[in-house]
Structures are given as structure tokens and as C-alpha cells.
């Protein structure tokens, strides 16, 4: 996958900011790498676009990251993974990992009674990507679209009473109709880790929460450890990690919102116009 003689360079792609939660987990689990994050902020949301359009945008972004030297691509976008992972994988010249399969694999391993709830955006739920992946493991699945949660997170209302009430309503509906005994809740949106404490409180006590961002980072880190001999660096820590950010819209907005998802300041944001 990667050369044993150099530090791996990982390209991370999302339609916007949510994929920064995946990047945060990647840095925590595998700090000895360089990371290039591409947020297609000028063209979000992807959820309202056709499969062809999402595939086109995602392939363009993937090629951009490859041209920047990425030797592994992480599609940190549930919509792009759900709608276009095959297209991205076929177009790429390096290995590609999406967020759906890792989350589904961990949920299957965590579920004792084989009944799982998946929450996500309308586009991800409509694709049934998690449902198909989990059913392949013999798991019964109920999906619930939670369209209000992303704008609440982006507003910064991660502990706001409104967010708590919205989460409670959504999860009450998700665990109704015979699924009260479901024992795993999959966070099928990369924004949702920011409100994991709120979702934990709103979910039944017996339910384990699977965060697809954490699951994906674990898969990437494991593959890197299997294929890469770490290159000695002065301090293998998040502060020593090479981080570059690219956005197709306002870099000022990216610097302002990015830290909410990444957990520390976002520096060195470069504006990119893929139409050029």
C-alpha cells in the first residue's frame, strides 16, 4: 500500500466539514502520517444531488488528492461513500477506504441480538448503504433520517436544549415499532460525533453507540501499521503531523468552523477551484 521508506500521505475527502471528525480520529490513532484534507464546501450539500453528480465531484477531489501525493484515500463522507464508492475506487490509482463498511463491521461485531439502528442524513438513509452492509452480516436494521442534526451541529449548538430535544424525538421514533430492543446505534453521519453525549443520553441505556468516524480511522490505522514501517520523527504526535487543508469555498469560513470538528485550530487552508 505505502512505501516502507517514507511517511504515508493520506488524502481525506468530504463534501464539507463533517469529515474533519474522521481526520481527528486518524490523527489520534495514526499520528505518523501526513494528511491532506479536501472539503468541497462550494458544492455541498451532496445529499440533494444525483448519483452521477456526486460521483463526478468525488472523483475530481480524489484525483486532486492523488496529485498532491496521497497514497491512500479516505472518503470521509457518508453520502459519497454510499452513492459513489465503487466509482471512486475504480477511478483511483491508490487504495480507497469509505466510512460505511467500517461502521457496519463494528456494529455487527457489537450487536448481541442482531438488531441495529442507523441514524444519518436523508441521502445516506435513502441509499440504504448501511442497511445493505449490515444485512450482509445477518443483522436486522432500522434506518432513521435526522435532517435537523447537521445544521444544529454547524450552528455550534452541540449542547443546546433544542439539540437535546430534537435528538430525543428522533431516537424515540427510531427505537419505536418493535425496535426498542435494538442494542447498537450507528452514527451514520460524520457530524454526529460532536453530539455523541447528547445521543448517548437520548438512546436507551442498553444501547452501544458505534461511531463510523472512529471505526474508519481504526481500519486505516490497522492497514497502515500492517503495510508501513514507521519513519522516525521528532515527536509522533498530532502537533508533529503534517496537516494541509483545501476548500472550494471561503477559507475564512473553513478556519472558523473547522476547529469545532477537528478539536484544534485549522491552519494553512488553501482555496481550490476544481473547474480550473
pLDDT at 1 (0 to 100): 52
Q: 77 catalytic, yes or no?
A: yes
Q: Are residues 18 and 112 in the same domain?
A: no
Domain end marker among 161, 196, 212: 212
Whether the predicted pLDDT of 124 surpasses 60? yes
Size (the chain), residues: 276
Whether the predicted pLDDT of 120 surpasses 50? yes
19 falls within a domain: yes
Predicted TM-score (pTM) of this structure: 0.91
250 falls within a domain: yes
| Tens-digit pLDDT profile for residues 87-117 | 999 999 999 999 999 999 999 999 999 999 9
pLDDT at 4 (0 to 100): 45
Q: Are residues 241 and 117 in the same domain?
A: no
Domain end marker among 163, 184, 212: 212
Strand ranges (DSSP E) for the chain?
9-14, 34-39, 72-75, 96-98, 115-120, 140-145, 184-187, 208-211, 242-247, 269-271
| Tens-digit pLDDT profile for residues 222-266 | 999 987 665 544 444 444 458 999 999 999 999 999 999 999 999
198 closest CA partner among 151, 149, 237, 266: 149
Whether the predicted pLDDT of 144 surpasses 90? yes
Q: Are residues 226 and 177 in the same domain?
A: no
Q: Which residue has the cell 485550530?
A: 265
Q: How confident is the model at residue 6 (pLDDT cuts 50, 70, 90)?
A: confident
Structural domain tally of the chain? 2
Q: Please tell me which of 51-55, 170-174, 260-264, 266-270 the model is most confident about, judged by mean pLDDT.
A: 170-174
Instruction: Please provide the average confidence, as pLDDT, over all residues in the chain.
Output: 92
Q: Are residues 94 and 229 in the same domain?
A: yes
| Tens-digit pLDDT profile for residues 16-34 | 999 999 999 999 999 999 9
**Catalytic annotation, pick one of 61, 174, 189, 213:** 189
Q: Are residues 93 and 105 in the same domain?
A: no
Strand order in the sheet with 184-187: 140-145, 115-120, 184-187, 208-211
Q: 146 catalytic, yes or no?
A: no
Give residue 51's domain range.
Answer: 9-98+214-271
CATH of the domain at 41: 3.40.50.1860
Domain end marker among 212, 230, 256: 212
**Catalytic annotation, pick one of 44, 77, 194, 266:** 77
223 falls within a domain: yes
Q: Are residues 71 and 174 in the same domain?
A: no
246 falls within a domain: yes
Q: Are residues 105 and 124 in the same domain?
A: yes
206 falls within a domain: yes
Amino acid at each position: 500500500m505505502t512505501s516502507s521508506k517514507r511517511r504515508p500521505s493520506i488524502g481525506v475527502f468530504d463534501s464539507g466539514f463533517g469529515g474533519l471528525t474522521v481526520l481527528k480520529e486518524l490523527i489520534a490513532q495514526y499520528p505518523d502520517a501526513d494528511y491532506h484534507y479536501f472539503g468541497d464546501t462550494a458544492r455541498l450539500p451532496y445529499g440533494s444531488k444525483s448519483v452521477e453528480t456526486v460521483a463526478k465531484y468525488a472523483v475530481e477531489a480524489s484525483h486532486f488528492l492523488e496529485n498532491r501525493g496521497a497514497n491512500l484515500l479516505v472518503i470521509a463522507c457518508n453520502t459519497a461513500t454510499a452513492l459513489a464508492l465503487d466509482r471512486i475506487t475504480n477511478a483511483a490509482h491508490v487504495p480507497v477506504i469509505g466510512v460505511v463498511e467500517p461502521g457496519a463491521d463494528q456494529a455487527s461485531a457489537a450487536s448481541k441480538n442482531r438488531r441495529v439502528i442507523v441514524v444519518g442524513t436523508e441521502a445516506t438513509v435513502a441509499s440504504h448503504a448501511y442497511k445493505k452492509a449490515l444485512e450482509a452480516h445477518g443483522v436486522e436494521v432500522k434506518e432513521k433520517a435526522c435532517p435537523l442534526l447537521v445544521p444544529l451541529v454547524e450552528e455550534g449548538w452541540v449542547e443546546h436544549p433544542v439539540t437535546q430535544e430534537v435528538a430525543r424525538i428522533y431516537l424515540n421514533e427510531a427505537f419505536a415499532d418493535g425496535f426498542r430492543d435494538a442494542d447498537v446505534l450507528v452514527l451514520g453521519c460524520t457530524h454526529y460525533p460532536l453530539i455523541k453525549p447528547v445521543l448517548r443520553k437520548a438512546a436507551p441505556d442498553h444501547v452501544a453507540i458505534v461511531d463510523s468516524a472512529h471505526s474508519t480511522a481504526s481500519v486505516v490505522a490497522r492497514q497502515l501499521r500492517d503495510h508501513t514501517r514507521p519513519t522516525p520523527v521528532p515527536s509522533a504526535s498530532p502537533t508533529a503531523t503534517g496537516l494541509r487543508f483545501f476548500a472550494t469555498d471561503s477559507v475564512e469560513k473553513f478556519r472558523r468552523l473547522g476547529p469545532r470538528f477537528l478539536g484544534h485550530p485549522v491552519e494553512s487552508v488553501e482555496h481550490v477551484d476544481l473547474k480550473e
